[in-house]
Structure 1
Amino acid sequence: MERVVEVRLPTTYGEFLAVGYLDLRSGIEQVVLVHGEVAGTAVLTRVHSECLTGDVFSSTHCECGDQLSAALRAIVAAGRGVLVYLQGHEGRGIGLLAKLRAMRLQEEGLDTVEANIALGLPVDAREYRVAAEMLRDLGVRSVRLLSNNPRKRAALLRHGIAVAEQVPLLMEPRAENIRYLRAKRERLDHDLPHLDGLHGLS
């Protein structure tokens, strides 16, 4: 990873430093938002997978946009932290058009895992090497990981980033995403205890 540029990025959540990287192996551009002094240990960190429909268009099919906003607020409230925004992770790594095709299959009754399999695609093709490399470049030695996904924690550990704590990032379920969330818990091992005993949503 080559660090290419740094620029101040004021946002509605607070002020960040946007650090732009180039993955010399893939040619993919990446960005990390840094708030405060982050070199050291136990840095509040969100490793966020690109999601155009959720992050930009505020789709209620998923919880990605809500998680992105909540993570930025939490980082600012903590006084320091990092948000790694991973390009190339759209649709858990299958790409935008394939994700839209999978969403259409979900409308027909398949869950997220079944839809990917029906399309002959990986259930989760995401890779976290670049996230670990960028965190190391920023001097982050261990993180408090904002995530409900134990597989993400395991991936960072494999790539040499210590995880001091996994911090839940639980969003209020909606009627449009409850099946999606249940599939994440039941099929992909996400820690979503707030779904227990949930009534009133289909």
Structure 2
Amino acid sequence: MTEHGGVLARNTARRTDAERVVQVPLPTVYGAFRAVGYLDHERGDEQVALVHGDIGTEGVLTRLHSECLTGDAFGSLHCECGDQLDSALRAVAAEGAGVVVYLRGHEGRGIGLLAKLRAMALQAEGLDTVEANVALGLPVDARDYGVAARILGDLGVRSVRLMSNNPRKREALEQHGVRVAEQVPLLIAPCESNITYLRTKRERLDHDLPHLDAAAAVPVSP
């Protein structure tokens, strides 16, 4: 405690680091990974990095994957998240080394699970994913990648080959001090259930999705 104006004042500065808590071997259908668990002291979230092989420090094949319960666990076709996670883990295993940082607290681009489901209900009524968030009075994208940068730093990673179609994710990571040597496309074939969502991501959220041009004939769900 420090004395200020005759009163002892407690230092209440909040920690903003990502504390490594545990590391454990994690055999998966994709190959042998190490699960490195972190506590994000800034937000209170528990985070995990899946590390495969000897990753080194430069040009590390990396995916920052935003938590998506409906896509990752339930196989929802409303988005491509589950397929992207699957593809990223397969790519890292095929490369022989790399990192997938699974970012909890990013559900629904950071608005949370229940809010995401409410937004999906509005999308079923005809709004797109951007309009639905706005209609709920919520941010279009509330995600922060500071903890991802801190995790990569703890793993010794200085530059990455980032598996992402989102240029804003690249910009955010570089703002936090991690150089992006290359942006590696992670393109998933669209289906009837997600083509409208993907087109909105390209047209309104600046995602680089050139493969949608070949999907012009895919019908849009009512």
If the TM-score is normalised by the length of the shorter chain, which range does it land in? over 0.9
Distance 2:55 2:124 in 1: 42
What are the residue-to-residue correspondences of 1:181-196 with 2, within 5 Å? 181-196=198-213
Following superposition of structure 1 onto structure 2, how do residues 128-167 of structure 1 map, counting pairs within 5 Å? 128-167=145-184
Asked whether the 8 Å contact 2:130–2:140 carries over to 1, the reply is: yes
Deviations 1:69-116 (A, max 9, x none): 000000000000000000000000000000000000000000000000
Q: Choose from 83, 87, 108 the match for 2:100.
A: 83
The one-letter code sitting in structure 2 at the alignment partner of 1:157 is: E
Pairwise CA distance, 1:44: 0.3
Contact (CA 8 Å) 1:39, 1:141: kept in 2 or not?
A: no
1:16 aligns with 2:33: yes
Does the 8 Å CA contact 2:191/2:218 hold for their aligned counterparts? Answer: no
Give the counterpart letter for 2:45 in structure 1. Answer: I
Deviation at residue 201 of structure 1 after TM alignment = 2.4
Q: Give SS of 1:196's match.
A: helix
* RMSD across aligned positions (CA): 0.6
Q: How does 1:72-111 map to 2 (within 5 A)?
A: 72-111=89-128
Greater Cα radius of gyration, structure 1 or 2:
2
Where 1:84 maps in the other structure, the secondary structure is strand
2:219 aligned with 1:201: yes
Secondary structure in 1 aligned to 2:114? helix
1:29 aligns with 2:39: no
1:117 is matched with which residue? 134
**What's the CA shift for 1:139?**
0.4
In the other structure, the counterpart of 2:68 is: 51
Partner Cα separation in structure 1 for residue 210 and residue 78 of structure 2: 19
Counterpart of 2:196, as a letter, is: R
TM-score, normalised with respect to structure 2: 0.90
Q: Could you tell me how far apart the structure 1 residues matched to 2:155 and 2:214 are?
A: 42
Moved runs in structure 1, 4+ residues, more than 2 A? none
| Partner residue of 1:176 out of 193, 208, 220 | 193
User: Structure 1 length as normaliser, TM-score?
Assistant: 0.99
Q: Distance in 1 between matches of 2:124 and 2:56?
A: 44
Deviation sequence 1:153-189 (CA, Å, 0-9, x none): 0000000000000000000100000000000000000
- Contact map agreement 2:58 2:157 (CA 8 A) in 1: yes
In the alignment, structure 1 segments of 5+ residues that lack a partner are: none
Deviations 1:132-169 (A, max 9, x none): 00000000110000000000000000000000000000
AA in 1 matched with 2:76? S
CA distance in 2, matches of 1:24, 1:168: 31
Unaligned runs of 5+ in 2: 1-17
What does residue 126 of structure 1 align with? 143
Return the alpha-carbon distance in structure 1 between the equivalents of residues 59 and 170 of structure 2: 14
* Contact kept? 1:48, 1:86, Cα under 8 Å: yes
Corresponding letter in the other structure for 1:168: P
- Measured after TM superposition, the shift of residue 197 of structure 1 is 4.0
| Contact map agreement 2:195 2:218 (CA 8 A) in 1 | no
Could you say which residue in structure 1 is the equivalent of 2:56? 39
